[in-house]
Structure 1
């Protein structure tokens, strides 16, 4: 009976959330508040791309060109207020589909908030992620064309080695941490300490500290740092931010992209220029030391011989972003630079620098919003250009069907082989889907 009443309460709260302009159900008494929020995305994607070979043409195991994608999140925030101090916890449940990993939903943590600021304990989202502004923040749709594109297929490889590409504006603390890529993965992003100042005259600052990006809060499998005859030199069977690439003559390069003593900072400024015009500015950055060295090894049967180790450069990255809104029009732009972060000249022979920039314009009228976005990335001199046109229609608060079409081009070569020819692949992705928020 108790379970039935609980289920009925949740259904009623979700229904109430969809029926009101504020779509977040809230249960509260004098000093305790419980807020429920959720998200579900269903998407149908169609792709046409050149230079795909054999099973590279498949979007799913058994279908070419067409595929479904789903994403979900459900979170409960419980907060208690005593003497102007707010203390609570956010609990995010793992759904039976791809977990939505935005800073709004991703990450269970404890928080304490006073007039001096907010502290988050164990949050997986750092300050730079929460305060960063990119052009895509004003767009309609999802910008999910890269879920269906294959930029490192067989045609783009050389001696079996893939080319490295970036398909969005992301930083290292996000893109190289563990994530729930599959339902059965047992780890997510690293845990960290966050502090955010209160907003003062439009300004807000934040800082985060992450001791080890391989530490996701529930793992302590330090034995994964050892292989036979290798000692604790960094050769690892762990998937936590580590990749191993195969070279010629049974040689390998093991790159540990984890970071220790990582700091991320952010500063935002919001200003209401007039009744119809608003401006938001943001500068964010990340700094950290590589967890281990790059390992050059050779496989001889079951034996691993370490040929050499190379120092990776420190993480140094920054992002500049702005959003300007005037009436029904919005525009956003950002530029990010990761420099030579976590690279070594012994492996990254083609290039070591990474940067990106993007811009978007959007127009909203009533329930309809339309946007146009451009993205340019360069990772180790491998470039991606993408243009996306999207529109969405708000049927009711929280329910947003959308349609989107994107054209992309990727050009590059494997970073270890400067003698390899530079190759190009192009394609078009069409998306139709529905987003539900409560």
Structure 2
């Protein structure tokens, strides 16, 4: 698989070398964009056996600033850049994604810190409020500090069907997307290991390495209905010496739209082998939009298996969450949104109790 990817890159590079000088092309000029989301909500959280009091109002935010730009050479090949800066303090990952883009009649190449083709080509139900299938409910349900595991939540079926093996997420990678033919498109990603923002050479005797992720989808119209279907699979091909840890994951999704209605479903499964993050999750939903108004009803269920030793289970967690959401476009780049949600988080771990949470959240989403 690596040879195919490297071969494709070599063909593109040869075409650029053989072309005439890019005398008419302009140097890339960076543009500033991004989004800001500010939310205020009220939650009631019930956790038996706990002394915590999480009932009340809360304010949360999620914002990024994006630096983008591109130029098209005389030979028709487009080069671009995308750098995404977290606008809230994030000690673990202040630069969210940072990658180079090459486009042409051959398709598209991404090189750098970015999600895999398995993630980016996935279809899931439409959601008009706080994101259900990316894990925002964990913040409003008060799971952190409850004793219920939050490990393996993001980019894993416990919290999302947008899963990637080993939760590799924005690891440094090379991705190639084919042109779309007859509604079909395929993407393939290769990542040396699961790390990002680092030039350290991967030690193949110390960690799982050489991730390959494949995504494919189809979109088209039939008798007035829009159809989207996706599937993805990813795996680390090499494990550390003396380890069987070769994380793998797969997902499928579908959306059908007719008139203003859309119906969607998605499923993901992960086998992490040694860290207890094995599990699966699914998301179903229905949505309706008319003019500036959108309404959605969605449900998510996800589970993390944990590990059991001598009859004692640790790290197990399961969630069941439903959201009724709506948004209204107030103007270009300005949207008001709200979500009424109910979440249940529980665990089979000894001494860990169950959480029942109900919350109403409203906010403004700005894109620029």
Q: TM-score range by the shorter chain?
A: 0.7 to 0.9
1:285 is aligned to: 233
Q: TM-score, normalised by structure 1?
A: 0.66
Q: What's the secondary structure of 1:132's corresponding residue? A: coil
Does 1:343 pair with 2:274?
Answer: yes
Tell me, in whole angstroms, the C-alpha distance in 2 between the residues paired with 1:114 and 1:205.
15
Tell me, in whole angstroms, the C-alpha distance in 2 between the residues paired with 1:265 and 1:163.
25
Q: What's the secondary structure of 1:217's corresponding residue? A: coil
Q: Residues 176 and 203 (structure 1 numbering): CA distance in 2 closer, same or farther, change over 3 Å? A: closer
Q: What does 1:364-403 correspond to in 2, within 5 Å?
A: 364-380=289-305, 382-403=317-338
Does 1:133 pair with 2:123?
Answer: yes
Tell me, in whole angstroms, the C-alpha distance in 2 between the residues paired with 1:316 and 1:207.
15
The Cα shift of 1:277 comes to 1.7
Tell me, in whole angstroms, the C-alpha distance in 1 between the residues paired with 2:362 and 2:266.
27
1:338-391 C-alpha deviation (Å, 9 max, x unpaired): 1x32326xxx5xxx7411111111111221111000111122164211110001
Q: What's the secondary structure of 2:269's corresponding residue? A: strand
Q: What's the secondary structure of 1:50's corresponding residue? A: strand
The Cα shift of 1:313 comes to 3.6
Q: What's the secondary structure of 2:272's corresponding residue? A: coil
Tell me, in whole angstroms, the C-alpha distance in 2 between the residues paired with 1:366 and 1:280.
22
Q: In structure 2, list runs of 5 or more residues that go unmatched.
A: 1-23, 306-315
Tell me, in whole angstroms, the C-alpha distance in 1 between the residues paired with 2:317 and 2:84.
36
The Cα shift of 1:49 comes to 1.3
2:106 pairs with 98, 102, 116, which one? 116
Does 1:88 pair with 2:88?
Answer: no
2:18 is aligned to: none
2:172 pairs with 191, 213, 216, which one? 191
Tell me, in whole angstroms, the C-alpha distance in 2 between the residues paired with 1:233 and 1:152.
34
- CA RMSD after TM alignment: 3.2
2:341 pairs with 387, 406, 412, which one? 406
**Which structure's CA Rg is the greater one?**
1
Q: Residues 422 and 74 (structure 1 numbering): CA distance in 2 closer, same or farther, change over 3 Å? A: closer
The Cα shift of 1:93 comes to 3.1
1:328 is aligned to: 260
1:71 is aligned to: 62
1:145 pairs with 121, 137, 140, which one? 137
1:368-416 C-alpha deviation (Å, 9 max, x unpaired): 11100011112216421111000111111211111101111122223xx
Q: What does 1:94-243 correspond to in 2, within 5 Å?
A: 94-97=86-89, 106-135=96-125, 138-143=126-131, 144-151=136-143, 153-154=145-146, 156=147, 166-173=158-165, 175=167, 189-214=170-195, 216-218=196-198, 220=200
Q: Residues 69 and 118 (structure 1 numbering): CA distance in 2 closer, same or farther, change over 3 Å? A: same
The Cα shift of 1:220 comes to 3.7
The Cα shift of 1:56 comes to 4.1
1:238 is aligned to: none
Q: What's the secondary structure of 2:120's corresponding residue? A: helix
Tell me, in whole angstroms, the C-alpha distance in 2 between the residues paired with 1:162 and 1:270.
35
The Cα shift of 1:66 comes to 2.4
Q: What's the secondary structure of 2:274's corresponding residue? A: coil
1:310-346 C-alpha deviation (Å, 9 max, x unpaired): 73442221111001111110111101111x32326xx
Q: TM-score, normalised by structure 2?
A: 0.77
Contact 2:298 2:324 in 1 (8 A): yes
2:53 pairs with 43, 51, 57, which one? 57
Q: What's the secondary structure of 2:197's corresponding residue? A: coil
Q: Residues 423 and 94 (structure 1 numbering): CA distance in 2 closer, same or farther, change over 3 Å? A: closer
Contact 1:127 1:208 in 2 (8 A): yes
1:263 is aligned to: 212
